[in-house]
Amino acid sequence: MELKRTLVFVMCLVLAVSAAAQEAQEGESEDPETYKEQYEKYQKQAKKTIEYPWFVGGAVGLAFGSETSYAEFSPIFGYRFSPLFQLGGSLTFRYRKDKRYEPDLSTTDVGASIVGRFFVFDPIFLQAEVERLNWEYIGITDEGYESVEDTYTGYYAGFGFVQKASERVAMYMAFLWDFAYDENEPSPNTRPYLIRIGFGFAF
Could you state, in chain order, the average pLDDT of each consecutive group of 10 residues for the chain (203 residues)? Answer: 47 48 46 61 62 91 83 94 93 91 88 95 92 91 82 96 92 95 90 92 94
Residue 71's pLDDT is 92
H runs (alpha helix) in the chain: 2-30, 35-47
Residue 40's pLDDT is 64
The predicted model scores a pTM of: 0.72
How many domains are contained in the chain? 1
Residue 145's pLDDT is 83
> Which domain range does residue 103 map to?
2-202
Show Cβ contacts of residue 76 under 8 Å, excluding neighbours closer than 6 positions.
55, 56, 57, 58, 88, 89, 90, 91, 115, 198, 200
Residue 25's pLDDT is 46
Q: How far apart are CA 98 and CA 147, in angstroms?
A: 11
Residue 16's pLDDT is 47
CATH number for the domain including 104?
2.40.160.20
